[in-house]
Amino acid sequence: MENQEINNGEIEIDLGEIFRLLIGHIGIIALSGIACGLIAIIGTLLFITPQYESTTKIYVLNRQDSNTLTSQDMSTSTQLTKDYAELIQSRTVTEGVIAHLKLDMTHETLLKKLSIETSTDTRIVTIKVKDTDPYRAAEIANSVRDVAAEHIQSVMDIEAVNVVETANIPDRKASPSLSRNGIIGGLLGLLLSAVIVIAIYLTNDSIKTAEDVERYLKLSVLGTIPMIGKEKKSKRKKTRRNSGKSS
């Protein structure tokens, strides 16, 4: 209650007092952050299945004339990359991949594994697939690329879709990140412990010092009576007993 002043029903909080409070409990707050960070890392290892990401790239170029390549062809192809991305994620492509690889998943499930990236200044479309099995991730990525190439040629009336890069077999997991989850867990632990310390402090409305009496009760303190600790009392008792034995 030392940090609060009540004026007309409003409570004023001394930020300096709050800061000193947090500094005084820095050990507990830091320990809570470390504990939550470790819990987040252990939980990630035990309960989150690693995901592997495989990437393949295609190059799509729309020519007006099969013998020449004009600047208009380049500009048109760049503008159409977003259309290609939508076609790659269409149900025709996903269901074709599911049927080709005999996957036990739905169109929606495959879409969650699939991500398409298109750069503004290029005609290259990047296809990424995440899966718990690195070999299956590469297999799905290559299959999506092949089925999508046929679908793009059919819909957009394009002669060919060139393969820039075949899908790789990832040797490192793409997610989850132990360091990121540990940092997030640690920060949440710090924040939660700080909030709890502040909440306990603000809800404590007991009078502790003479300054509290003058500040909140508007009364003058004539004097204070010091409290004798238990250790002093026990020492006095022992002294009395020893003096009694010696006499």
72's CB contacts (< 8 A; 6+ apart) are: 64
Answer whether residue 226 shows pLDDT above 80: no
Q: Which residue has the higher pLDDT, 168 or 2?
A: 168
- What is the tens place of the pLDDT at every residue in 93-152? 999 999 999 999 999 999 999 999 987 677 789 999 999 999 999 999 999 999 999 999
For the four alpha carbons of 160, 156, 119 and 79, in that order, the dihedral sign comes to positive
What token pair was written down for 244?
Answer: 């009694």
From 131, 126, 146, select the one nearest 85 (Cα to Cα). 126
CA distances from 65 to 52, 61, 68, 156, 158 (A): 41, 11, 6, 15, 11
Give the pLDDT band of residue 220 (cuts 50, 70, 90).
Answer: confident
Mean pLDDT (the chain) is 81
**High-pLDDT (> 70) share of the chain, %:** 70
- pLDDT for position 75: 56
Instruction: Count CB neighbours of 177 within 10 A.
Output: 12
- What pTM does this model have? 0.66
Domains and CATH numbers, the chain: 4-44+178-246 (no CATH), 52-165 (3.30.70.1130)
- pLDDT for position 38: 96
Give the pLDDT band of residue 215 (cuts 50, 70, 90).
Answer: low
Torsion (CA) 93, 99, 101, 103 in degrees, nearest 10? 100
Least confident range of 48-62, 126-140, 204-218, 231-245: 231-245
Amino acid at 62: N
